[in-house]
Structure 1
């Protein structure tokens, strides 16, 4: 065999890279260098291409060092290969920009590589600045470059509203440039443009583009179907699915999953179920879309049943699958199901994944197994993230361990690496509410203001609730008035705060202000409002509000609403009206309703009505000791000792026993 030279080494490396044998190509390159051959620009370009495909930034940087050493770093051919490698490896900001600046005459490949790299690292402003510089220097703009810029203009979840507006405007500008350059016939570029408009929620513009495209493919149809789904328009997604089939395109799994997600986003669970059934061999991704849809619309039992069906198909669930099912188990307080998923997670070696840990903590906490939750949490201390801490704090709070929740929050701050988010603050403020700890609540309010979460709707509601529960109703109202966009939850919280603090007139006034602003009340609004009327003795106002629920707002009163009004009438001494209302409700067989009225009979000394109500209660629930005790207290309060003794005999006969009470003493932290 003739002696090898640089050209033969280059050919060997180049062939290996083209065949997808990048690691072997790097081995050959190392042999070439070790035998004393000096790499040429072609050698380095091939090796850097291999590094790009392997995402091997370390070897790529070593090649960069070699290029500098032999004076090829300024060569446009090598420079572009370096830029491409740094872009693919996510090292454009740290290393690639310096390479670009070293090039005397960068071309369209150079600019495109830098823009691509900056886009990958979400450096929006730098990428746009580079694109403008490219246009100003008269460098030819190609479809790949425009596609990268369009990818930047598609919004991401973490973007604030100003960034979203900026990206939307940028997308329209690129669209105009496409038209000026005559690139509207490029399929890949048109798909990028479609995706930009769809992700920005501008489906009208997307539909215009789609209609005008000279050529479409399955990707184009999928973008439209998914876009309408994100816009909560499942009818349009299904329409496009039908048109896609009529146009001769066969839907793939991405298509079906997009339609499935669209149906669930729009609340059309039944159609979503049918779409899923039409997929011959659904993948884990399709199953996840189905399970997530069921869970979102609170069909938790169905989600668990479908997961069992998925297991029968011998599909391996991923962390998304298990997270969804753990959430369903937590909602149902299904301990055995949670334990089974815990076992699946351990067998699949993902039990320490933060999403799984959070879900497991939620299940065990909801099932009052805090010792297991704490064990899981402590066992993963070195791998915890903010989601796990939030789940643990919420579990402590749900189990009335609010002091421990505050201590955990403090521990989290002391780590110096875990920073609370809006969920953290909302949870810890809820614990302050239950502890009536104004001192801690004010302290956390200060931290919220500094951290930038003061305008989050959950945090605003939690702060309002905290001030109300701590008796600082004026501070709560002051905070409430600063909120520009008030959710129904916040309105309800403020009305409930007035009710809790015995300021019924102000609760009614706030309700009327809410209605005048066009806000639509829900059933919780009326529970808070009727509670306020009850606590403040606003009987006639309460009766009017009760009748207006169905008449003016189409909300059927539920048991909680009737309890408030029956109690309100009873407290005011209008016992016959209270009895008549209780009899007329759909809940006349509810023990709670009659117990409320029996308590009012005791307050007003109406023995005759008390006996009649007690007979109803004993018939409804003969083992409820509260009925016997209340009636006995009424008898003894009017010195009817014989009847009280007879009632005690009836308790013994029915084997009813009064449960002894107890008190708690809470120490300060």
Structure 2
């Protein structure tokens, strides 16, 4: 009879729980107490379920703590409730007091720690769980992978992946999506995440979105777009969040050439059409993403049309419009939108301030707008100083930073980071030291942005021992930017072998992964060391890591092969590049020029023009140098004449130097003299020194005298005129004239600048290269970059 009553009361309580009838449940609770049934564990568990489901913490605690006998279900039910309401202290007490635990207990504890932002403690609890022989469930792995994502802990994430494979949970969509999210946030989508995605039997919209975001984080924008198209083709449901993400991905595409802008504009319009077709035009976040893509594509007319039709706008919407007009150098429109924003009742925030100042700096009105602001916060000052730094007005940035201090405004990490960048550019060591002191006093000296800036300052000022000390003291907390800054500092100070060693050290950590900046810097070191062996190793790593299509890496690879004398390998790589920018064309032409292959340099220059790429001043220096080294005088004149006529580029001193040198090498000295006199740079001593050097080569004494007189009239204390003329006399055995010239130097008190033969310079350079090459080969096991399997 008693057992039947218990079951009846339990069923009533279960019904009350399902219907959330707490009042009826309390009536049954009272009846159970009066009739002596309240000590039954099964009945108490139903009461506990009722109060937990209805969110009545006080009654739930009373039932739990007054239970005479608690089973595993009782402990787990109350632990689940404590975790659900976020009472971490009580959850820990319950968990620690449990006589026995099951997977549910561990899952609850791990989950609440992750939700409370205690990811590291969650991982510790997970390790305890595994060590005690419990197999994680899909819920366990999802929570742990979430913790790894937030900590950017790819190593532990990969361990969880291994356990998921062993337990067969890697095919579970819940775990699979958690793995994809983890790999995306840890920057491991290309290396590991894509394989997880391919192993999923039926990926859903969450899976596709995670992969798209992960590819975008690793700058694989085209791959991300292709993944989105695949998602549409497979009929997977596309929601507003996914569309917003793909728009954000497209907006990331760098504006390094016009084809990228066209690509982004077309893609943005296609997705805009999809938004309208699916009926998401009222989604605020999605509309903001559309505004951003139009602004990044420099289509502000389209952005204004979208903005005008938006049912709802927020501060982000206004900021995008203000920044968009700013990048188009239309400060009047930016200020107009700022005024309209205020009139609409929206308060400008930090981003607004930065956007307005950015717009005004680009049009030259930054200082006027800044001084007109009634209240200038630290954020406003940061935007103001950043504007000066961005447009390379570093001295003004330093001076205004002093004014900021006079106003008793305390700089934050952003301020110090901007100022360190300016000091590095100016090589202002004393300023860098002062900011270093401020960083120490304000406890931000370990911040990765500050560390990176400090390394850059001391490296630029040739204080590598201080840079290395800062780097070593923070090495466990540094991100890839700090490693890149340190590697760049070593290369800037000609410590290329040491830079190779540091790169290897970073590569072996397995935690940080080199990015395009890392590879471009190291390829530059290989160029200076003329180390083809290491250059080829880096080429392999670049291909494997997926950065081979980065424009900086492409240029660095081309330069490396050219500097190492592998001009055919450079051309072979150059031909594989699909989208070539002006810098890459220049690098390849320059490589031909300095490898004595002038005809091919000129041919490539003509190919560049045919392809529609616009040459710049550096292009013409490279191709004219090639003409000079290969004796292509007529071709050089033709190209020089086409600069202004066909390309609208006024020839500069460097271009005339190339042609004068070209004529001089060909023995057409009178033509070279005529050209030098006709140039706007005839007062430049360098131009006449080049011609005087050619006179020595061809033994033309009479012209050498005239050119020397011209040089001396330009700069009486320039020893080059005397030395080159003396060498000319010596080359034709006019020893008396050479001696008389030496006497004239003494009379005029002209002192010869210490110098040495270019032949000796070349010999010394070759010896140094051989020495470096031998040292690199000898230390191959120590320096060689291992490929990650």
CA distance in 1, matches of 2:411, 2:179: 33
Q: Deviations over 1:593-630 (max 9, x none)?
A: 11111100101111112122222223333343333222
Query: 2:474 maps to what in 1?
Result: 380
Q: Does 1:646 align with 2:740?
A: yes
1:579 maps to 2:673: yes
Larger-Rg structure = 2
1:238 aligns with 2:335: yes
SS in 2 for 1:200: helix
| Matching of residue 411 in structure 1 with residue 477 in structure 2 | no
Say if 2:287 is the partner of 1:194.
Answer: yes
Deviation at 1:655, TM superposition (A): 4.7
Q: Which residue of 2 aligns with 1:212?
A: 309
- What is residue 300 of structure 1 aligned with on the other side? 394
Identify the residue that residue 526 of structure 2 maps to in structure 1.
Answer: 432
Cα pair 1:228 1:237 within 8 Å, conserved: yes
Specify which of 631, 635, 640 is matched with residue 546 of structure 1. 640
**Structure 2 vs 1, CA of residues 151 and 94 (structure 1 numbering), >3 Å: closer, same or farther?**
farther
Q: 1:508 to 1:176 in 2, by over 3 A?
A: same
Of 656, 659, 663 in structure 1, the residue corresponding to residue 754 of structure 2 is: 659
What is the 5 A alignment of 1:88-487? 94-95=141-142, 128=206, 152=245, 155=248, 184=282, 190-201=283-294, 207-214=304-311, 216=313, 218=315, 220-226=317-323, 228-229=325-326, 236-245=333-342, 251=348, 254-264=351-361, 267-268=362-363, 270-487=364-581
In structure 1, distance between residues paired with 2:391 and 2:335: 20
Change (3 A) 1:355 1:509: same
Alignment equivalent of 2:662, drawn from 560, 568, 591: 568
Change (3 A) 1:118 1:445: closer
- In structure 2, do the counterparts of structure 1 residues 510 and 33 end up closer, same or farther at CA, with 3 Å as the change threshold? farther
Instruction: Give the counterpart of 2:709 among 615, 620, 623.
Output: 615
TM-score (norm 1): 0.76
Partner of 1:15: none
Tell me: CA distance 1:119–1:173, structure 2 relative to 1, closer, same or farther (3 Å). Answer: farther
TM-aligned CA distance change 1:429 to 1:209, over 3 Å: closer
CA distance in 1: counterparts of 2:617 and 2:707, whole angstroms = 28
Aligned residues of 1:119 and 1:152 also touching (Cα < 8 A): no
Contact 2:719 2:751 in 1 (8 A): yes
Change (3 A) 1:377 1:626: farther
How many aligned residue pairs are there?
Answer: 594
> What does residue 16 of structure 1 align with?
none
**Secondary structure of the equivalent of 1:277?**
helix
CA drift at 1:659: 1.5
Give the 3 Å change call, closer, same or farther, for CA 177–88 of structure 1 in structure 2: farther
Offset at residue 129 of structure 1 (A): 6.6
| Contact 2:527–2:564, Cα closer than 8 Å, also in 1 | yes
Which residue of structure 2 aligns with residue 507 of structure 1? 601
Which residue of structure 2 lines up, in the alignment, with residue 138 of structure 1? none
Range moving further from structure 2, 240-249 or 641-650: 240-249
SS at match of 2:248: coil
Aligned-CA RMSD value:
4.6
Structure 1 residues 438 and 44, CA gap change in structure 2 (3 angstroms): closer
The answer to whether structure 1 residue 592 and structure 2 residue 647 are counterparts is no
Q: Distance in 2 between matches of 1:342 and 1:521?
A: 43
1:490 equivalent in alignment to 2:587: no
Q: Which of 520, 525, 528 lines up with 2:622 in the alignment?
A: 528
CA distance, structure 1, for counterparts of residue 706 and residue 566 of structure 2: 43
48 and 120 in structure 1: CA distance in 2 versus 1, 3 angstrom threshold = farther
Corresponding residue to 2:719 among 619, 625, 629: 625
Contact 1:150 1:192 (8 Å CA) reproduced: no
Provide the C-alpha distance between the structure 1 equivalents of 2:630 and 2:330, rounded to a whole number of angstroms: 46
User: Which stretch has the larger CA shift, 153-162 or 230-239?
Assistant: 153-162
Q: Give distance in 2, aligned partners of 1:377 and 1:128.
A: 40
CA distance in 2, matches of 1:174, 1:89: 39
Alignment check: 8 A CA contact 2:83 2:112 kept: no
Do the aligned partners of 1:499 and 1:529 also contact (CA within 8 Å) in 2?
Answer: yes
Distance (whole Å) between structure 1 residues aligned to residue 535 and residue 182 of structure 2: 41
**Residue 46 of structure 1, CA deviation:** 8.6
CA distance in 2, matches of 1:121, 1:421: 16
C-alpha distance in 2, partners of 1:315/1:618? 56
What is the alpha-carbon distance in structure 1 between the residues aligned to residue 184 and residue 595 of structure 2?
49
Offset of 1:459 from its aligned partner? 0.9
Shift of 1:508: 1.1
- The alpha-carbon deviation at position 523 of structure 1 amounts to 0.5
Conserved? CA contact 1:93–1:118, under 8 Å? no
Q: What is the Cα deviation at residue 456 of structure 1?
A: 1.1
| Superposition deviation, residue 427 in structure 1 | 1.1
* Structure 1 residues 91-147: Cα deviation after superposition (integer angstroms, max 9, x where no partner): 999556999xxxxxxxxxxxxxxx99999997997664799xxxxxxxxxxxxx988
Instruction: Provide the rounded CA distance (Å) in 1 between the counterparts of 2:205 and 2:537.
Output: 41
User: Residues 87 and 116 of structure 1 are in contact (CA less than 8 Å); yes or no, is this contact kept in structure 2?
Assistant: no
- In 1, the alpha carbon distance for the partners of 2:326 and 2:116 equals 32
The CA distance in 1 between the partners of 2:563 and 2:145, in whole Å, is 58
- Structure 1 position 517 matched with structure 2 position 611: yes
Give secondary structure in 2 for the equivalent of 1:155: helix
Deviations 1:275-305 (Å, cap 9, x if unpaired)?
3333222223222222222222222222222
1:495-540 CA distance string (max 9 Å, x none): 1011011111111111111111211111000100110010011111
Decide whether aligned partners of structure 1 residues 86 and 157 sit closer, same or farther in structure 2, where only a CA change above 3 A counts.
farther
Distance in 2 (CA, whole Å) between partners of 1:478 and 1:98 is 44
Deviation at 1:252, TM superposition (A): 5.2
Gaps of 5+ in 1: 1-5, 8-26, 100-114, 132-144, 185-189
Cα distance in 1 for residues equivalent to 2:620 and 2:86: 67
- Paired residue secondary structure (2:294): coil
Could you say if the C-alpha distance between residues 478 and 175 of structure 1 is closer, same or farther in structure 2, counting changes exceeding 3 Å? same
- Closer, same or farther: CA 341–620 of 1 in aligned 2, 3 Å: farther
